[in-house]
């Protein structure tokens, strides 16, 4: 379980399934290492980071066309975007994501058109890939 009071820049609610229909009691906990590494990345970046997708229930994952084997289903993935005043956009965001994520221990990283998908799935090989997820 995560001690959310030790997470500096994010609240638990930001990682909840976005469908609004599945009971929170049925969600697995978010992966502790993933959240703490994301928190460290956010801390170094010094800019606001928005979680666009955290945990997904199977119905929501299917509804948005997620991979049936998605790490979002187990709380082992998070999608993030940087946006808003004083933030860093576009190509620079992607380069920063690479520069910060891999040394922070995020060894599975998708560079999607509008977000970065960060995974902590130790049972899978490390990979950085350019994807098409929305
Ligand atoms: Zn849901
Ligand atoms: Zn994702």
pLDDT at 84 over 60: no
Q: Mean pLDDT over all residues of the chain?
A: 87
Q: Give kind and range of the element (H or E) at residue 43.
A: helix 32-45
Q: Can you tell me the mean pLDDT for 38-56?
A: 89
Does 91 have pLDDT greater than 70? no
Query: Which pLDDT score, from 0 to 100, does residue 90 have?
Result: 63
**What is the pTM for the complete model shown?**
0.87
Under DSSP, is residue 10 helix (H, G, I), strand (E, B) or coil?
A: coil
For ligand 2, the distance from its centroid to the CA atom of residue 85, given in whole angstroms, is: 24
Tell whether domain 28-130 is in CATH 3.30.1380.10: yes
The per-residue pLDDT for range 103-117, each reduced to its tens digit, is 888 889 998 877 889
- Domain boundaries of the chain, sorted by first residue: 28-130
pLDDT at position 53 over 90: yes
Inform me whether the pLDDT recorded for 8 exceeds 90.
Answer: yes
CA of 60 to the centre of ligand 1 (A): 5
Which pLDDT score is estimated for 74?
Answer: 96
Contacts 24+ apart (CB under 8 A), 119-125: 119/34, 119/71, 119/76, 119/77, 120/31, 120/33, 120/34, 120/37, 120/71, 120/76, 120/77, 121/71, 121/76, 121/77
54 CA from centroid of ligand 2 (Å): 8
* 117: β partners: 79, 110
Ligand at minimal distance from the CA of 16 is 1
Residue 47 has pLDDT above 80, yes or no: no
- Residue 111 Cα to ligand 2 midpoint, Å, equals 10
Distance 79 CA to ligand 2 centre (A): 5
Note the pLDDT tens digit of each residue in 16-27. Answer: 999 989 998 888
Separation between Cα atoms, residue 75 and residue 121, nearest integer Å: 10
Q: How far is the CA of 56 from the centre of ligand 1 (A)?
A: 6
- Under DSSP, the state recorded for 116 is E
- Cβ 112 vs Cβ 133: under 8 Å: yes
């Amino acid at each position: 379980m995560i001690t959310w009071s030790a997470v500096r820049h994010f609240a638990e609610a930001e990682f909840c399934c976005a469908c609004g229909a599945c009971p929170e009691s049925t969600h697995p906990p978010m992966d502790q290492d993933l959240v703490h590494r994301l928190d460290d990345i956010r801390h170094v970046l010094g800019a606001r980071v928005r979680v666009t997708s955290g945990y997904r229930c199977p119905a929501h994952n299917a509804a948005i066309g997620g991979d049936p084997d998605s790490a979002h289903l187990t709380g082992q993935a998070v999608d993030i975007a940087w946006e808003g005043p004083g933030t860093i956009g576009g190509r620079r965001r992607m380069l920063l994501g690479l520069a910060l994520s891999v040394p922070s221990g995020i060894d599975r990283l998708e560079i999607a058109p509008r977000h970065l998908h960060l995974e902590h799935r130790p049972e899978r090989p490390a990979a950085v890939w350019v994807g098409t997820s929305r």
